Structure formats: C-alpha cells, structure tokens
Amino acid sequence: MRRNRKIAAAALAVVVLLGGGFIYWAVTAASNGDANVPTIASTSTPATPTSTPTPTQTPEPTQTAEPTPTETQPPASALNITDPNSVTVLVNKKTPLAPADYAPADLVAMSDIGVPSANGHSLRSEAATAVQTMFAAASAEAGLTLDMTSGYRDYGLQTELYNGYVADLGQEAADLTSARPGYSEHQTGLAADISSQGEGCVLEQCFAATAGGQWLAANAHRFGFILRFPDGATATTGYEFEPWHYRYVGTDTSAAMQAAGVTTYEEFLGAPAAPGY
Ligand SMILES: [Zn+2]
C-alpha cells in the first residue's frame, strides 16, 4: 500500500538522519582528542542507531517524525571546548584561553541593542542577543529590570583588575575572586555579571536571595546561560559562589546540562576539576 510505503520512507529518513548525526558527533569528538575531552560521553550518547524506530515498530507516521529534544542533543564530548571562538569553550584555572590575549571579533555594545549598560559593556553577538531576550522575559514574566554589570573584558583590563585585587587582598584571596589575565571567562565575550535594579546585592552573594537572582537561577538555562560558579563548588570551579556570573554556552548545551542535573560545567564535560592554577 502507498501509505505503508510512505511510513517506511519516513522511518528510513529518520534512520539516515540520526545515523548521520551520530557519525558527525563521533568525528567531531575524535577531532577534539586531547586531555580535556571528557570520557563519559560515549556512554551518554542519547541517540544510538539501535534506538532508532523501525518501520514495524511505528504504526503512526507522527511518532517517527518527532524525536524528543533529549534524543537530538549531541554528547558533551562533541562540544568544541578548545577554540576560543566556540561558544562552548572551557576556560578555568587549568585551561587558559589560547592565545592568552584572545579577543573576539563580533562584539556588540549592549547599549546598541537597547540593553541598559552604564559602562558600555559588550558581549559577543550571539550572547548579547540572548541577554536581550532573557532580560525581556524577566521583565514580562516577573516584572524584573535586570542589568548587566559587567561583560567583555579584554586582556589588558583583566590584568589591571587582577593586579588591583592582589594589591588589596593578597594573591591567595585575589585568586578566589578574580581570574588571572588569559584565564577569565569575561575575556571570551560570553560571560555576563547580572544584577537586578532596586534589589541591591550587586556582585554580592546575597544576590542569590533576591527575586532577580532567583529568577535567573531558575530560568537562565532557557536562554543558553549557565550559573558558572555555583554554591559549594569551589573545589571544582576554583571560585567562590558567584550568583551573578552567567556564562553563555548556547541553548543546546544549557538544556543538556539542566537535563543531566549537574551543577558545574567541568562536571558536565567530564573535565578535570580546576581548584587552582
Ligand atoms: Zn563575572
């Protein structure tokens, strides 16, 4: 019957597509083969060829056409975590940017896209648009006016900041608060320090208890952001709890991390902990 042939054809297309994606992920993962590439991913690959529905298992065509989102997410090992231009690049105290003085080429000033930013902060284009969308959602859904307190910082500015902290606090305390130049996520143009107008606690841990801090913790993943330095994870991230520091990784990765139920990016990637330099 024509109908059965159509179903079979649709199912075959799904098999080919999923199979192709699997091969792509495998190839990409292989090309990343260095010490930072996680080893857990092969077991967590969501869509394996064996799980692909066969024509005999799918009486309704609609069931073959709609794989759930978790079945389409690539494994963590497929993420490019070494290229500084990748939105999923890993930067921590064990993993500096390469080159150390990397500067993104697609910075957008937040004020140019209507996001309040007193000091002219900027982010890479994709992250800037995501902040804009997230702030609009916070306003519409919770009546919050979020603010970007800090965004992209170049190598030179990070050097000044870090040296200032060292002078004030000593190197050990400075390292818990400020990244050394070349090791800061702010230098990627993908990290935003966020505050909530009228709620205080700007760049302070009490931000976690504000309405803005709580909304972000619950919703940032919807817009491709992760809370990069969560509470109680200093041994993994190398930083104290920073409820204001959000890192853009893209919605595929933020959703996968949310689904995996892990709190740190290192853990999600299967990367080594980075408590110190
Ligand atoms: Zn920050």
Quote the ligand 1 centre to 113 CA distance (angstroms).
21
Contact predicate 228/247, CB 8 Å: yes
Judge whether 50 lies within some domain: no
SS3 of residue 67 by DSSP: coil
Quote the ligand 1 centre to 166 CA distance (angstroms).
17
Split into its structural domains, the chain has a count of 2
Quote the ligand 1 centre to 193 CA distance (angstroms).
5
Quote the ligand 1 centre to 26 CA distance (angstroms).
33
pLDDT of residue 118: 65
pLDDT tens digits, 200-227: 999 999 999 999 999 999 999 999 999 9
Q: Residue 89's pLDDT band (boundaries 50, 70, 90)?
A: very high
Quote the ligand 1 centre to 217 CA distance (angstroms).
15
Rounded distance, CA 120 to CA 7, Å? 55
Q: Are residues 181 and 223 in the same domain?
A: yes
Judge whether 3 lies within some domain: no
Q: Are residues 19 and 102 in the same domain?
A: no
Judge whether 29 lies within some domain: yes
Instruction: Tell me the residue range of the domain where 189 lies.
Output: 72-269
Quote the ligand 1 centre to 14 CA distance (angstroms).
42
Judge whether 57 lies within some domain: no
Quote the ligand 1 centre to 243 CA distance (angstroms).
9
Q: Which residues surround ligand 1, an ion (CB under 5 A)?
A: 193, 245
Q: Are residues 105 and 239 in the same domain?
A: yes
State the CATH number of the domain containing residue 118.
Answer: 3.30.1380.10
pLDDT of residue 9: 45
Q: Between 56 and 200, where is the model more confident?
A: 200
Quote the ligand 1 centre to 40 CA distance (angstroms).
28
Mean pLDDT, all residues of the chain? 81
Rounded distance, CA 132 to CA 140, Å? 12
Q: Are residues 179 and 228 in the same domain?
A: yes
Highest mean pLDDT among 34-48, 65-79, 198-212: 198-212
pTM above 0.85, yes or no: no
